[in-house]
Amino acid sequence: MQHNITPGLIIHTKDEGTTPDRDARHPSMVDRVDGGDSYIKLTKDVAGNHHWIPINWVEKVDGSAVYLNKTEKEFRAGVRNELPREGFTRGMRRKVG
């Protein structure tokens, strides 16, 4: 069964819970799928900046969250501060099973 990555879904890392959850002061959530469907644009952080993660980090999606195949440490090390240019030439499907 496939699910859409939609705005407002919470980002969960592989083994360390949410990153962070809806009750946190500055949640990390999906803003939209971006860059030719290759990246997930996250909602703005405390400084007012967006960040992006590769869509291939997604392990699964349910109605309330996106579950990554990365740990919290890997997430923090790999999150991008701008949309990579190659995201516009590579197309990936928005639906993840």
Beta bridge partners of 60: 67
pLDDT in tens, the chain (97 residues): 245 899 999 998 886 544 444 433 335 899 999 888 899 999 998 899 999 999 999 999 998 899 899 988 899 899 999 998 764 433 334 444 4
One DSSP character per residue, 5-22 reads --TTPEEE-SSS-BSS-T
DSSP result, 15-58 = SS-BSS-TTSSS--BEEEEETTTTEEEEPP-TTS---EEEGGGE
Rounded CA separation 8/85 (Å): 24
The whole-model pTM stands at 0.73
> What span, in angstroms and rounded, lies between the C-alpha atoms of 22 and 82?
24
